């Protein structure tokens, strides 16, 4: 299951109380203040971790709390600081304060972290203050996580265009595949091994139909995942097995990209004619070329025809982008 949103509550540790203590002996008439300071509370820290792929764990655990600081004690002994609470999320998670609706941080790189709730300061003991102070309460807040997957390549196209089949053939992903609309109800990530030291991440982007930017077919939920890909592989069912002309599918998908964000339409796009193993595909391709003037890669995801050339083209573009 791919979960890309979550709500959680975080609470930083409270500061420990300062100690109110006096050292007394026969030589000190009124006693000497010697109460130590309370320790600071721990922070709640969120870190991007590339080994995590979904927000599914946050459907079961929604509350995270750091440890409070220890109270100060006599003989001017300070209380220990509370332990931080570290929360790991997938790379690409956007953190928003749910109560005040403002962006806290976009964790778009592995290892990036942010303190989302700061621990309370420990209260001063009476050694440093006339009267010992209580510790300050730690911050608490509700957060909203919104995950935008970060993949090198996003495969777009209508349902049944063969996206899941393509991703399963060229990567280590094992998506569910069947011949009906919306087989894939969540993005599928896979790693494509090009060479022993070269690979790229590919994502099957589901839910794109006419009206996707308005929410039809869950499209508005998945178009956001396209924004961070470097290349789009636009897969077109050239056999037209669902009865629609391939050129209409191609134009409709591009219209949805533009309606959602003009930036998407301007991304590098590789046009791929799929299902070329079917007899009607060749005839449709001739008509399609009148609409699409770009270079078209002819493949059959089912039989594997043309996949090596497609992978080579993707890697060539990514190599230029890395320089």
Q: Which of 9-13, 91-95, 179-183 has the lowest mean pLDDT?
A: 179-183
pLDDT band of 213, cuts 50, 70, 90: very low
Res 210 pLDDT > 90: no
Residue 307 phi, psi dihedral angles, 5° rounding: -70, -35
Summary mean pLDDT of the chain: 86
Q: What is the pLDDT of residue 263?
A: 80
Higher pLDDT, 218 or 163: 163
* Residue environment code for 162-175, b if the CB has 16+ CB neighbours within 10 A, otherwise e: bbbbbbbbbbebeb
**Tens of pLDDT, residues 255-290:** 888 887 778 878 899 999 999 999 999 999 999 999
pLDDT band of 105, cuts 50, 70, 90: very high
Q: What is the pLDDT of residue 219?
A: 42
**What gap in Å lies between CA 255 and CA 204, rounded to an integer?**
19
Taking the CA atoms of 266, 268, 274 and 276 in sequence, report the sign of the dihedral they define: positive
**Tens of pLDDT, residues 144-179:** 998 887 788 999 998 889 998 999 999 886 655 545
Report the interhelical angle of 219-226 vs 246-260 (nearest 10°): 80
**Tens of pLDDT, residues 55-80:** 888 989 999 999 999 999 999 999 99
Higher pLDDT, 224 or 32: 32
Residue 118 phi, psi dihedral angles, 5° rounding: -95, 140
**Tens of pLDDT, residues 292-319:** 999 999 999 999 999 999 999 999 999 8
pLDDT band of 1, cuts 50, 70, 90: very low
Contact 189, 201 (CB under 8 A): yes
Q: What is the pLDDT of residue 5?
A: 87
What are the tokens at 50? 């590339």
Q: Which residue ranges form the domains of the chain, and what is each CATH number?
A: 5-147 (2.70.210.12), 153-322 (3.40.50.300)
Q: What is the pLDDT of residue 12?
A: 98
Q: pTM for this one? A: 0.67
Q: What is the pLDDT of residue 22?
A: 87
Q: Where in the chain does DSSP place strands (E)?
A: 5-11, 22-25, 28-33, 44-48, 63-65, 85-89, 93-97, 102-107, 113-117, 140-147, 153-156, 188-195, 198-204, 231-237, 268-274, 296-298
**Tens of pLDDT, residues 174-206:** 655 545 444 445 677 788 988 877 888 898 887
Q: What percent of the chain has pLDDT over 90?
A: 56
């Amino acid at each position: 299951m791919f979960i890309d949103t979550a709500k959680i509550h975080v609470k930083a540790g409270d500061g420990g109380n300062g100690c109110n203590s006096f050292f007394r002996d026969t030589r000190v008439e009124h006693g000497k203040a010697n109460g130590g300071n309370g320790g600071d509370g721990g922070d709640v820290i969120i870190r991007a971790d590339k080994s995590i792929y979904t927000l599914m764990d946050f459907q079961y655990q929604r509350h995270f709390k750091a440890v409070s600081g220890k109270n100060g004690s006599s003989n001017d002994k300070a209380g220990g600081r509370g332990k931080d609470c570290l929360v790991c999320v997938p790379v690409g998670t956007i953190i928003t304060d749910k109560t005040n609706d403002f962006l806290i941080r976009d964790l778009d790189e592995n290892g990036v972290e942010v303190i989302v709730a700061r621990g309370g300061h420990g209260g001063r003991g009476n050694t440093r203050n006339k009267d010992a102070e209580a510790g300050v309460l730690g911050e608490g807040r509700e957060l909203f996580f919104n995950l935008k997957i970060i993949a090198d390549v996003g495969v777009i196209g209508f349902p049944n265009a063969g996206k899941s089949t393509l991703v399963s053939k060229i990567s280590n992903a094992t998506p569910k595949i069947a011949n009906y609309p919306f087989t894939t109800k969540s993005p599928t990530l896979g790693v494509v091994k090009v060479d022993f030291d070269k690979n790229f991440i590919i994502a099957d982007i589901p839910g794109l139909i006419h009206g996707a930017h308005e929410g039809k077919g869950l499209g508005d939920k998945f178009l956001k995942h396209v924004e961070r890909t470097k290349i789009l592989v636009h897969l077109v069912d050239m056999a037209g097995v669902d009865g629609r002309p391939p050129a209409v599918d191609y134009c409709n998908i591009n219209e949805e990209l533009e309606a959602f964000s003009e930036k998407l339409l301007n991304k590098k796009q590789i046009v791929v004619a799929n299902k070329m193993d079917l007899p009607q595909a060749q005839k449709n391709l001739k008509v399609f070329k009148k609409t699409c003037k770009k270079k078209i890669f002819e493949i059959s995801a089912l039989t594997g025809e043309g996949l090596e050339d497609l992978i080579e083209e993707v890697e060539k573009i990514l190599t230029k982008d890395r320089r």
